[in-house]
Structure 1
Amino acid sequence: MSCASATLAVWASAWLAGAAAPDDVLDALAPWSDAHDVAAADPEAAELTGLPGPGAPPSSTTMLLAAVRRIAPRGQARLVLPAPGDVRGLPGPGRFSREATTTGEGVLFADAGFGVVPAPVADGVLRWSVYAVPDPGPVPEHVGLNEAERDLRSQVRAAAAALTEMDVARHRPGVREEIAAALRGRPRALWPDGMPPQALRVLQQADEVDAILVAAAGDEPGGALSASAAIARSDALRPIAAAVRVARRAAVAEAVRVLVSVPRT
């Protein structure tokens, strides 16, 4: 589950470290879309990577991996999950930051000087747009998995109490089945051998909480709730969404750290 950018960040880092083959990366991306293509979104990215630029036919994820290895053969990938008002992990102003914030995800190859943002461009086609990032900015503050996991749990408890106090939370018949169906309907992410168990657990917890958030956000204005009640509910749920993003970033960062640090023979 998680997101396509998390999959690419982990697998591309593992591949660069010699812990995966190129075909492994492509197979791991398959659950997210029937087809993937790649294009440089600006002339600077096209010149840097050798990928087709604006107006040219797109290339493939294989060529994206080749560009990363050519420019930064021992580099690592960083998952970014920005949202309006929460730009942690982004390199600073620029097209990559804007597009990643609009989409809600992206992968920064800081050592290679570019980032990629996925977005559907046709039925069954996911395009990875490549943006030049000449200055990746400072390394984001490290968040340990234990801290991220505790915060995720505490935010869920706090929001539940706030929703109850505001009388916004209300019983919805079948909501458990709704959440389970949402989880079943998401792509099943594939991870490399050697993924740290705690990172996997945190990713699973984040997916479960995300499904709860989707269910809790139902009945927007025009439905059963008034506009003011919907706004109050949104305010109560916002910290949980932020905690989900932090947990996912922390889990991916830890997975990358572990996978690239294992000695290869």
Structure 2
Amino acid sequence: MVVWTSAWLHGAAASDDVLDAAQAWAEVHQVWAADEATATRLELPAPGDNDAGLALLLAAIRKAGGAAGSLALPVAGDVRGLDGASEFARHALRQGEAAVFPRAGLGLVPERVADGVLRWTVHEVGEIAPAEHTPVGEAEHGMSSAMREAASTLTELDVSRRRPGVRGEIAETVSARPQPSWPQGVPQRCLRVLQRSTEVEAILRVATEDAPGGAMSASADRARGQALNPLFESVRTARRAVVDEMVRVLRQRAEQR
């Protein structure tokens, strides 16, 4: 959503392209404003009203002065990209992700409410501190390093032995993730790093689950968590870096036309 919407705002994609790409995430997208005041300002449905579609959301972002967006992937202890103790921040933290358009003062929080249905809640946001820039190469290296450092602990915990068919589980998790199209001109390296982050996330998901009947001791579970936390953080960092770079490249190319 961040990449496609930013591309559209800069004239690098048509609105129909954004709407078509969104079908990879859900067949139906519902849009509401978080409160009455936001609904009135942006001409969006208020909570409890009939929902709107993504076309009206795009119009609202442009009306509010939206330009380049950014990706927030907050977790407890790491709320970069949010605006402090606001309702938006709390909502984004609960869902673990949000699309932020600082210039427009808007934050979009997605929530899967039914099979094939994705709800977007539009919040007004306060001032957000600029995020530290992480080059894609540095983020990719950080993810690889974290993977190597975690590997020895995972070997000691013998995740593969505890979960027969673990490779199949990982492959199934990767293939189940939506595969959206991307605006023309996004760097291929970004797509490779994004795919790698998806694979690492699948490994993490399997590594943090116990096989039926094979629950770990409390001490082993703590050791596993300590080993994997840096890898979780490296995946979030890589994804933010990739999205930032895609948006930067699309904006730059649009400005050069």
Instruction: Tell me which interval the TM-score lies in, with the shorter structure as reference length.
Output: over 0.9
Q: How far did 1:260 drift?
A: 1.0
Deviation at 1:151, TM superposition (A): 0.5
Alignment match, 2:53? 60
Question: What is the letter of the counterpart of residue 16 of structure 1?
Answer: L
The residue aligned with 1:128 is 120
AA partner of residue 148 (structure 2):
R
- Given candidates 15, 37, 44, the residue that maps to 1:22 is 15
Q: Which runs of 4+ in 1 moved over 4 A?
A: none
Select which of 95, 104, 109 maps to 1:117.
109
In structure 1, what is the equivalent of residue 173 of structure 2? 182
Question: Are 1:161 and 2:152 counterparts?
Answer: yes
Q: Which of 39, 42, 46 matches 1:46?
A: 39
**Equivalent residue, structure 2, for 1:237:** 228
Question: What value does the CA root-mean-square deviation take over the aligned residues?
Answer: 1.7
2:82 equivalent in structure 1: 90
* Structure 1 residues 186-225: aligned runs within 5 Å: 186-219=177-210, 223-225=214-216
How far does residue 17 in structure 1 lie from its aligned partner after superposition? 0.5
Q: 2:237 aligns with which of 246, 251, 254?
A: 246
Instruction: For residue 118 of structure 2, give the secondary structure of its aligned residue in structure 1.
Output: strand
CA shift, 1:232, in A, is 1.9
Distance across 2 between alignment mates of 1:55 and 1:178: 39
Aligned to 1:147: 138
Does the CA contact (< 8 Å) of 1:220 and 1:230 recur in 2?
no
Greater Cα shift, 41-50 or 27-36: 41-50
Structure 2: give runs of 5+ residues left out of the alignment. none
Q: Which amino acid aligns with 1:100?
A: A
Deviation at 1:122, TM superposition (A): 2.8
Percent identical: 49
Shift of residue 221, structure 1, vs aligned partner: 9.5
Mean alpha-carbon deviation: is it higher for 43-52 or for 235-244?
43-52
Match of 1:142, as an amino acid? Answer: H
**If the length of structure 1 is used for normalisation, what is the TM-score?**
0.91
- Aligned letter for 1:105? E
Change (3 A) 1:86 1:220: farther
Superimposed CA distance per residue, residues 56-108 of structure 1 (whole angstroms, 9 cap, x where no aligned partner): 111111001001112215x1111111111111122222111111111010101
The match for 1:104 is 96
Matched residue SS, 1:218:
coil
* CA distance in 2 between partners of 1:173 and 1:234 (Å): 21
Partner of 2:32, secondary structure, is strand
Listed as ranges, the gaps of 5+ residues in structure 1 are 1-7
Paired letter, 1:160: A
C-alpha deviation, 1:227, in angstroms: 2.8
C-alpha displacement of 1:162: 2.8
Contact 2:35 2:47 survives alignment (8 Å):
yes
TM-score, structure 2 length as denominator?
0.93
Distance, in Å, in 2 between the alignment partners of 1:127 and 1:69 is 19
Aligned equivalents of 2:152, 2:38: Cα separation in 1:
47
Q: How many residues align?
A: 255
User: Residue type matched to 1:192 in 2?
Assistant: P
Q: Is the 8 A contact 1:45 1:114 kept in 2?
A: no
Supply the distance in 2 between the matched residues of 1:48 and 1:234 (Cα, whole angstroms): 44
Are residues 1:71 and 2:56 paired?
Answer: no
TM-superposed CA distance for 1:123, in Å, is 3.1
User: Counterpart of 1:37 in 2: which secondary structure?
Assistant: strand
